[in-house]
Every structure is written in structure tokens, then in C-alpha cells.
Amino acid sequence: MTIPYKMFAADPTGTGSNFKIIFKIENCRDYDAAVASSLAENVGLQMNAHNASFRSTSTVLSTQYGEDEYTELEFEIYKSTTSSGANATNRYVMAWVDGVISTAREYGGSFVQSSDKATDIVIGSDLCDVCIYLVKYYPKVLTRDEHIANFIADAPNAVEMVARYNRNNILTDNEIDANKLATNNPDCRVWLYDIEKMPTSKDKAEATKVYNF
């Protein structure tokens, strides 16, 4: 199957970008089997049966997942705060697996494929079954709230959707509410401290003082 969209035909670092795919690999005869790609000139996305990589001309971000598992895989390129060059900052690329950040790196080089070689997204394999549930691409960086909303909306069924909403319903006035966090996530240990002040001095004597919490 080919999705006629060239993710790497233009520079994504100017706006940021987000790619998400939900899938399951079954009946695999080769753990290194290619199952999806948008790769040209060693730049772009390469997904194999048990791992995936996201590549610029000088950076490789890799992550792993299992066979026979409903897997939500997401890669995001952060928008660089300057256009290019050695002084560019905020150059991060991150991977999520099942809604949890699994890998993050500072990227270098370019994510752009040459105009005559830029590739569509190709999905499928002769060495395993590739079940695709969802594919999304955003030419932007998602906010925290957008990540959470997507994770909830992309649940495999209504029961899991409600469970995800309840687990993530932990904010009051856009700040984490400790009571909501503890109530909605009973398996999460929550520690609360009343701290008079937090030392920020690099002075050794100041940094080694004992503060009673």
C-alpha cells in the first residue's frame, strides 16, 4: 500500500512535524523485515518488524516494539528556533511508543530528501502481515494538550478511551492537581512536599545546607 504523501520533500524543521502510525505485526518470518518506509538517500522513516528509525543526514533516532502487539508509534521533529546553521537551537526529535516518550535526541543535518527522490509512504511486507489501524501526519509540533487529546481519541475501543481520559484528567487551571493525580491513578505513588525554598546557588556551603521539608 502506498500513501501518496512525501513527508520529507520540504524542510520540516521550519514548522516542526509529527507522524503517527498505529499498527500490529503478525506472522513474522524475519525480525528485520521492512514493514513501512519513507526513506530516500538514507533520510526519512524506516520501520521494521521489531524496530523503527527516523533519520536526518547526520542523526538516527531509533526505537523498538514487539510483534503481535497493538502499537502506537509516533515521531516528532521540533521546530528549530533559528533557521539553520551552527547556532540553531531547540533541534529535538522524539519518539513515542503507546503514548510514552521512548527516545529523544538533538538532531543535526537535514531531513529533506532531494526533489527528484522524495518518496511516498509505502506500507507492506512479503515476510509478515502488517495490520494498519491509523496513519496521521501534522506539519507542526503538537502541544501537550494535543498529544493527550490524540492519545485518548486514538484508543482501540471505547472502554480504553474512557480509561485514558480518566488517567489523564489530572489538571486544574492547566496545572497538575495532586489530588486528581492520586485519585485517577491509584497505582501511581504521589509525594507532596511543602518546601520553604529551593537553593539555586552554586556556592558549596549554600548547596550543602540541610532543609527540613
User: Residue 116: what residue type?
Assistant: D
pTM of the predicted model, to two decimals?
Answer: 0.79
pLDDT at 85: 52
Domain 2-155 fold is Jelly Rolls (2.60.120)
User: Residue 121: what residue type?
Assistant: I
pLDDT at 76: 95
- Quote the radius of gyration of the chain (alpha carbons, Å): 21
Residue matched to cell numbers 492520586:
182
* 40-to-72, 73, 75, 123 alpha-carbon distances in Å: 24, 21, 17, 15
- Residue 48 CB burial class (10 angstroms; 0-12, 13-18, ≥19): buried
Q: Where are the domains of the chain?
A: 2-155, 169-213
* 158-to-18, 72, 99, 129, 151 alpha-carbon distances in Å: 25, 16, 17, 26, 13
Condensed to tens digits (0 to 9), the pLDDT of residues 96-142 reads: 999 999 999 999 888 999 988 999 999 999 999 999 999 999 999 99
φ, ψ of residue 72 to 5 degrees: the values are -105, 110
Question: Is pLDDT of 211 > 50?
Answer: no
Condensed to tens digits (0 to 9), the pLDDT of residues 147-169 reads: 999 999 999 999 999 999 998 88
Condensed to tens digits (0 to 9), the pLDDT of residues 160-209 reads: 999 999 988 888 887 888 888 888 888 888 777 777 666 666 565 555 55
